[in-house]
Structure 1
Amino acid sequence: MKKNNPIGIFDSGVGGSSIWKEIHKLLPLEHTIYLADSKNAPYGNKTAEEITNLSIKNTEKLLALGAKIIVVACNTATTNAIATLRKNYDIPIIGIEPAIKPAALQTTAKSIGILATKGTLSSALFSKTTREFTKDINVVEIIGEGLVPLIEAGNLDGPEMVSLLKKHTKPMIAANVDYLVLGCSHYPYIIPQLKAILPDNVTIIDSGEAVARQTKTVLQSMDMLRDENTAPNLQFFTNAETDTLKFLLKNYSEKISVEKKEF
Structure 2
Amino acid sequence: MAGAAPHVIVFANEKGGTGKSTTAVHSAVALTAAGRRVLALDLDTRQRTLGRYLDNRAATIRRLGTDLPMPGYATFDPAKGETIEAQLDRLSEGVEVVVIDTPGRDDPHARAAMLRADTLVTPINDSFVDLDLIGEVDAETYRVRRPSFYSELVWNSRTQRAKEHGASVDWVVLRNRLQHVDARNKRRVGQALEELARRVGFRIIPGLGERVIYRELFPKGLTLLDLAQLGEVAVSHVAARQELREMVAGLGVPEARQEAERDRSAALAGA
Q: What TM-score do you get using the length of structure 1 for normalisation?
A: 0.33
Larger Rg: 2
RCO higher in 1 or 2 (8 Å CA, sep ≥ 6)?
A: 1
Q: What TM-score do you get using the length of structure 2 for normalisation?
A: 0.33
